[in-house]
Amino acid sequence: MKTSNRITKSVFVGAAALAAVAVVPALTGAVPTMDIETVLIEAPGGIANAPDSATGSVHGSVGYDYYIGKYEVTQGQWKDFLNEVAKTDSHGLYNDFMGISASYSGITRSGVSGSYSYSLVNEDYARRPVIFVNLLDAKRFCNWLTTGNTELGLYDMGVGHGNDERDTAAWSANGGVVLPDENEWYKAAYYDPNKGGSGVGGYHEYSTTGSGNTAGDTMDPGYANYNDLYLHGAEGWTYRLSPVEFYKDYASAYGVVDMTGNVSEWIDIPNGSTRVVRGGSCGNTDTGLAAGFSWPHFTPGDELGDLGFRVASLAPIPEPSTYGVIGGALVGLLYLLGRKRRAVAP
């Protein structure tokens, strides 16, 4: 079953006490909507699917319903985010390469600190995945979608407050927007609930299964943006990155697009002092795109021209709706979250 969800963010000002001390900083000003199309990844009956035995029975088992971005976060969405939160850009959410690496990215910045504004060189960039975004940038985007504040959400971005870790208790109890962890990402990419027959389930080698074909068990230059197709001129592109819906006919079994190629993606899992990314990029060969291959050597501060991300959330609730998210529990904050979510048929 494929379901799309349009997440609409609406934050209202509030303050509440936890342990009689902490007060939420006021969030003021108009908050624009940010629409992110997502796909439902189900666990019927709350029963976890088996992990992928091909990867040592480690990855892919998830026992709850969740939603994952149908597409990678785009440059158009990142430009809108910057215009909301980066007029001063004290967190370095803009990288100069976003505007000067013409075959990759087209977000430019103008003005001076305190009144920065951001725009696209042209609309051709709007639907291409955002790049030059580090791990903490991506988590700040998730926080903003959850609370309207980059520093407060399911990631506490305060120094020394575990900002590399999802607040799993708040996530399980109240939802919010996060980066997918490795199991969530892996299941959405490679698991097919009908492989081997209806209700049997199994994994594909690639995330390009699509609808009514078996491309997930083989790889071909027509299935994804990889192996430097731009440099080889195979598609005649002006830009190295393809629009996020370009390979929608070769989505995963659930209908998630570009989990193979285009850009590698940050996921929510530590690996000692480094971090793991998944999916492979436009410059990788088919070996780097396969389910059994991850890239474990990135650091949280890496900002690269072939590295982006997508988001995840829990199941939507009827609109209008409000749910609370407790974030930053270690510092005693309780913040209120106003959210609207709508499920629409694809």
Distances (CA, A) of 105 to 32, 77, 194, 202, 242: 23, 13, 38, 37, 11
Pair of tokens at residue 185: 């990402």
| pLDDT tens profile 149-176 | 999 888 988 765 556 688 989 988 888 8
More confident residue, 112 or 221: 112
Q: Which has the closest alpha carbon to 265: 228, 291, 294?
A: 294
Pair of tokens at residue 7: 């997440």
Distances (CA, A) of 97 to 94, 128, 240, 263: 9, 15, 15, 16
pLDDT at residue 311 is higher than 60: yes
More confident residue, 189 or 30: 189
pLDDT value at residue 214:
61
Q: Which residues contact 68 (CB under 8 A, 6 or more apart)?
A: 38, 39, 41, 180, 184, 185, 188, 256, 310, 311, 312
Q: Residue 126: what residue type?
A: A
Total-model pTM: 0.82
Q: Does the domain spanning 4-344 belong to CATH 2.60.40.10? A: no
Q: Which residues contact 197 (CB under 8 A, 6 or more apart)?
A: none
More confident residue, 235 or 274: 274
More confident residue, 272 or 89: 89
Measure the CA–CA gap between 230 and 31, rounded to whole angstroms.
Answer: 38
- Three-class SS state of 195: coil
Pair of tokens at residue 243: 């629009």
More confident residue, 100 or 185: 185
pLDDT value at residue 327:
34
Question: CA 61: distance to chain centroid?
Answer: 19
Q: 297-324 burial by CB neighbour count: b if 16+ within 10 A, else e? A: ebebebebbbbbbbbbbbbbeeeeeeeb
pLDDT value at residue 192:
92
| Average predicted confidence (pLDDT) for the chain | 77
Helix ranges (DSSP H) in 89-221: 97-100, 135-147, 168-174, 182-190
Per-residue confidence band for 212, with pLDDT thresholds at 50, 70 and 90? low
pLDDT at residue 10 is higher than 60: no
Per-residue confidence band for 104, with pLDDT thresholds at 50, 70 and 90? confident
| pLDDT tens profile 60-84 | 999 999 999 999 999 999 999 999 9
Cβ proximity of 60 and 253 under 8 Å: no
pLDDT value at residue 218:
77
Q: Where do the structural domains in the chain lie, given as residue ranges?
A: 4-344
pLDDT at residue 29 is higher than 50: no
Burial of 22 (0-12, 13-18, 19+ CB in 10 A): middle
pLDDT at residue 338 is higher than 70: no
Q: Which residues contact 158 (CB under 8 A, 6 or more apart)?
A: 151, 328, 331
The neighbour count for residue 80, using CB atoms within 10 Å, is 16
pLDDT at residue 88 is higher than 70: yes
Residues 315-327 have a mean pLDDT of 34
